Amino acid sequence: MLIVHGKGYQAEVKGRILEMQVGFSHKVLFEIPGGLEIVIKPGQNTFTLTVNGIDKHLVGAFTAELYKIKKVEPYNLIGFRYSDQHVKRKAVKTIT
């Protein structure tokens, strides 16, 4: 399961195409492989992508491709992260 956090981030499944707006100037399109099913649960400034399938290797490979789009950044936690992933937050940079 992937948690995607960011203001204005959206995802939609159209047939066998996953269409996402994740902060780029264009929409990111992914073809969903056969045997996989994607469930999207929207929230406020976030949504959850659940990838289901029989083949664990295919599920993991597809989820890893999605994760590579925009890895979570440690300051505001914006981007893709796994549901069980712990991200060590960094302090805000200050000028001294």
Residue ranges per domain, the chain?
Answer: 2-82
The CATH H-level (homologous superfamily) assignment of domain 2-82 is: Ribosomal protein L6 (3.90.930.12)
Rounded to two decimals, what is the model's pTM? 0.85
The pLDDT score that the predictor gives to residue 18 is: 95
Q: Mean pLDDT in each 10-residue stretch from start to end of the chain (96 residues)?
A: 91 94 93 94 91 95 94 90 89 78
Q: In what order do the strands lie in the sheet with 10-14?
A: 10-14, 17-21, 28-31
- Spatial separation of the C-alpha atoms in residues 63 and 34, rounded to whole Å: 14
Q: How much is the pLDDT for 93? A: 76
